[in-house]
Amino acid sequence: MPRRRTAAALAGAAVLATVLTPASVAAPASVPASASARPWPAPMPMPEPVMPAARQDQLTITVSTSPDGVAAPHTAPRGVRGGGAPTNRTHTLDCHPAGGSHPDALAACDAVDRASQGPHDPWRPVPADAMCAQIHGGPATARITGVWHGQRVDASFRRTDGCEIARWDALVPALPGPEEFVEELPAEPVK
């Protein structure tokens, strides 16, 4: 009997060795169609990573020192830069990422971001029935057109009263500060 067990053990080892040879591991034998073995499922494709959509807000900012927004020859109030002649300046402002011809695009984009997240819509005009301080901030006007947060923008700005000045100042440095329009006037001599 011990011979039969030894012979059976050797036969089992031989079969096992034949099945696990490196050749059989490296290149699996084809399975006959009649076999009941199920093939492995195909690997699932990896989903594309979800990235936030690239957003680029683009604005064109035109600023004029003329009250009507047109740089036409006329006598400007004393102290307006440019020797009294009105001027127009136009800059492009690209945000997210910052760029364009604006002299300080990053700070300008930050100002527009802050203003658009504030309690007031920076693109909406001051309501006609708003109670505003009657102070005059100068003849400067501005127009901003383009796309901001996927919405079309076409807004006009001026510095004709306290509400309009506050609306303008919320967008500084996207719009120039008042110091960019008015030069220091010489002090009047004391008598």
Residue 184 within a domain: no
Range of the domain at 72: 57-177
Residue 100 within a domain: yes
- 0.75 surpassed by pTM: no
Per-residue pLDDT in tens (0 to 9) along the chain, 191 residues: 555 555 555 555 555 555 555 554 455 555 555 555 566 666 766 665 544 455 689 999 999 986 554 443 333 333 444 445 667 899 999 999 999 999 999 999 999 999 999 888 999 999 999 999 999 998 899 999 999 999 999 999 999 999 999 999 999 999 998 777 654 445 555 55
Residue 144 within a domain: yes
Write the CATH number for 146. 3.30.350
Residue 89 within a domain: yes
Reported residue count of the chain is 191
Number of domains in the chain: 1
Residue 74 within a domain: yes
Residue 108 within a domain: yes
Residue 29 within a domain: no
Residue 169 within a domain: yes
* The amino acid at 40: W
Beta strands (DSSP E) in 16-130 are: 57-64, 88-95
Owner of token pair 């990235």: 51
CA-to-CA separations, 162 to 124, 158, 167, 170, in angstroms, rounded: 16, 10, 9, 12
Q: In terms of DSSP bridges, do strands 141-148 and 88-95 run parallel, antiparallel, or are they unpaired?
A: unpaired
